[in-house]
Structures are given as C-alpha cells and as structure tokens.
Amino acid sequence: MDNALHGSPAVGKLVVMMVLAACAFPAGALVAEEDPNVSAEQHPATGIATWRLVWDNDAVLSSDNQYSNGWSLQLHGQVAESWDKAKGTPAFGKAMARWFLPDDRDGLYFREGWAVGQMIQTPDDIDREDLIEDDVPYAAVLAAQNTWIAYDDRQLYGFGWLAGVIGPSAQGEEVQTWFHKVVGDDEPMGWDNQVNNELLVNFYYEWKRKLVGSSFGDVSTVMDARLGNLVTAGTVGMEGRLGWHVPRGFMYVPDPIGWRMSYDAHLPPREPTNWTFYGSLAAGVTVLGHTAPYDGNLFRDSHSIDHETFIGAIAFGLHYQRWRWGIHLDLALTSDTVDPDVATGESDTTADFGSLMFEIRY
C-alpha cells in the first residue's frame, strides 16, 4: 500500500483542515447543556430516524481520475427491538433480510436503511476526446440501495440489495460538466466513450464483531461479501475509534454508492452526554472479482481495463456528533487498483478520495 500513502501537499492541507474544523467543536460542546433524555440505559434513539447527505470528491488530493465524484442521500429508519416491530418493505428488503440475519437473539436491534446516489469515474486526461484504451473508462452509476441490519454493541449483521443503471442514463456527463463549470475546471471531453447503458443488480452481506470497547474507543473486525454486476468482491479488515464519549454500536465508512452497504448502527455512549468527538481508522483488503466501472458492461461490448485482484485500503476520519446532528470527515486511500504497467504514463493508479457527511436525527 505504499503507493496509496504517497506524500502530497493536498493531503497535508486536508488533514490540517479536518483537525482545525473538528477541534473547534468540542469547546462549544463542553459548555452546552446535556440533553436530559440521553442516558446509557435508554433505548437507542427510539422513534428517531437519521437523514444523511454524503459528498465524495478526489479534488482534495489534486486528482480527477478513477472515482472522481459521488454523492448519496440516505434515510435510516427507526430502531426496533424485534423483526415484528421493524418497519420497512416486507415484499423486498425485509423478507429477503430475514433469510440472512438472526432474529432469535435477545438484545438485538433491527433497522432498515435506504440510499440513493451517484458515482462518476473518469480517466486521468479529461481533455482528450478519443478513447483512452490504457486508462479507466468514463463511467457513471445511478442507483438505489436498501439495507437491513441486526446489531447490538457486540456484533452487527447486515444484508442489502441494490438496483440501478450504469451508462449515459446515469447522467454522469451532465453532472460533471456542470460541476466543472461551476468550480472553473476544464470541461471533460471524452464522455462519448463511456460505458454503455446497463441495468445493475447487486446483493450485500456484512458482519462485524467488536473485540474491545470502552467510552474512549473500540476495535472491531469486519467481513463482507458483494455479488452482482455492479461489484462482486469480498473484504476483510479492522476498524477502530478513539476519542471522547465514543458511541456504542459500530462506525460507518462512506464509500461510492453500491461499493458496500450503507447503514446507521449508532448506539448512545456509555455515559450520559450530549456530544461525542473521536477519530477513526479503518483498514482492509478486498478481493475484487468484477466491477462494472473497470470491467465495463457485462452483457455488451464496452471499454474496460484490467484491475488488480487484491486491493488494500485505509480510511482516516474525524467525527463530531450531537444528539440531533453530526458531521464526519473522511479520507480514503487505496493501493493500486489498476496495474501500473497497464495504465497510461503518469496517470494515477489509485482511487483516493475525501468524503464529507452531514447527518440529522429527528
């Protein structure tokens, strides 16, 4: 993963920005009144839903290739103490999830989530109009994902499914052209060579187990599997958090829509409090079989590029949460996703990006 952790002035600027922004919050939080309704013994956010807005971009790393830009809007419903009380879509997500998630263990909480989002991928040289055969294809994905989780402070079980489209119908050219015009960047010229339209269907399973947990932090193991024509892959990894009043439950690391599951497995901290501030670190290795942005269309001919089978990734984050809202900053770095011997000249062979996530609970 040496190539992933390359030195860059942009990385340094992002880290400084994250530290300054996050350190500004606790000073005000220390003098804020604690919410009398928050306690370690209470049900985790009964009657509370979570809205999230996530925006990803690689501009913070002075890059504009591979995963270039993405966003997702997420809604995570009310927490339930049993499957029978869990609200959702019985004909689809809930019915399928019951095949994979436990429902006979005391103390588990159940929650459904929905996400809609878009991801955009471009080669390194966006000024060229011709097909760049030895770099990643132009590609855009527009999709909706439904997830179900069963969790407590020891383990998390998750199942999800996705439906979407890759190709011109995902509106990647229109969104990127508009965004580059707004920020004054060059207009991307090669979208005529993008991956063709194709419907996407994917399924997900995820399992986490906490190894260590306290009010100062925790460490967990992670395993997941994904199957479909958007991505077929498996990941093993570790993740940890360290800070003040670290929430119980499990952390969420933002990813491009459909790369993994989106969920909210938050539980209140162990001690009564109205604020939390912590850093996070997640690392893992993915075995990548198929992914439409690299391999192109499954049922039609299209531009594609050979990708690495084993991809390492590491994500750093700073998080500040109040009872009703939160802000999260993450930086994701990867090892080579494309073989450097195949990629064009000086083009970046990693898929690094920064992520900003806002959440509101009500």
Reported as a single tens digit per residue, the pLDDT across 273-291 is 889 999 999 999 999 999 9
CA–CA dist 153, 90 (Å, integer): 26
Examine residue 355 and state whether it is found in any structural domain, yes or no: yes
Q: Look up the domain containing 112 and give its range.
A: 9-361
Examine residue 1 and state whether it is found in any structural domain, yes or no: no
Examine residue 2 and state whether it is found in any structural domain, yes or no: no
303-325 burial, b at 16+ Cβ within 10 Å, e below that, comes to bbbebbeebbbbbbbbbbbbbee
> Lowest-confidence range among 23-37, 86-100, 228-242, 297-311?
23-37
| Cα–Cα distance list, 201 to 183, 291, 293 (Å) | 34, 12, 14
Using DSSP bridges, classify how beta strands 265-267 and 248-250 pair: parallel, antiparallel or unpaired: antiparallel
Cβ atoms 196, 297 nearer than 8 A: yes
**Number of structural domains in the chain:** 1
Q: How many CB atoms lie within 10 A of CB 94?
A: 19
Mean pLDDT of the chain: 85
Examine residue 99 and state whether it is found in any structural domain, yes or no: yes
Cβ atoms 316, 147 nearer than 8 A: no
- Predicted confidence band of residue 52 (pLDDT cuts 50, 70, 90): very high
Mean pLDDT, rounded, for 289-308: 93
For 340, the token pair is 């450097």
Examine residue 3 and state whether it is found in any structural domain, yes or no: no
Q: Does residue 309 or residue 81 have the better pLDDT?
A: 309
User: CATH no. for residue 314?
Assistant: 2.40.128.140
Cβ atoms 152, 210 nearer than 8 A: no
